Structure 1
Amino acid sequence: MKELIVSIVKPLVDFPEEVQVTTFEEENRVTYQLSVNKNDMGKVIGKQGRVAKAIRTVVYAAGSSQQKKIYLEISE
């Protein structure tokens, strides 16, 4: 799943080397924390959050076969 998130986000940003995904796994959920350069935040979030919503939709669909709930957080 990490590779999927990175492969979606890297082409969108100006600083692809600073894209990092951290995983936090709990009993019934997995949280992926996406970290990008602060100058790239607008590109990852998009107008009215449309790009972020599209990324989350793809990630949630890819993880729907897992038994755990998947969350994607975006931070600087």
Structure 2
Amino acid sequence: MQELLAIIAKGLVDEPDAVKVDRDEPNEEGITVYHIHVAEDDMGRIIGKQGRIAKAIRTIARSASIRTEEKVMVEID
């Protein structure tokens, strides 16, 4: 999942070397949180107009997590 999120984020930004994806351990509800870190100048590119790109990234992550039966949440930092 981390690789998938990193590939998606690197394709959207101007500074792909600055992209970093961290994973938190599952919380008490079983939800794993992934944090996408990008350069400050690329925040607008990864979020998109009215958050549409961020919403699409979250949808892809949820769809991919069905195979592993994992509950995921994506945060953009």
Q: Is 1:74 equivalent to 2:76 in the alignment?
A: yes
Separation (CA, whole Å) in 1 of partners of 2:7 and 2:35: 15
- Which consecutive residues of structure 2, in runs of 5 or more, have no partner in the other structure? none
Equivalent AA in structure 2 for residue 59 of structure 1: A
Separation (CA, whole Å) in 2 of partners of 1:58 and 1:13: 18
Find runs of 4+ consecutive structure 1 residues off by over 4 angstroms: none
- TM-score normalised by L of structure 1: 0.92
Separation (CA, whole Å) in 2 of partners of 1:65 and 1:39: 34
Q: Percent identity?
A: 45
Separation (CA, whole Å) in 1 of partners of 2:55 and 2:20: 18
Higher helix share: 2
Q: Is 1:47 equivalent to 2:37 in the alignment?
A: no
What corresponds to 1:65 in structure 2?
A: 67
Aligned length: 75
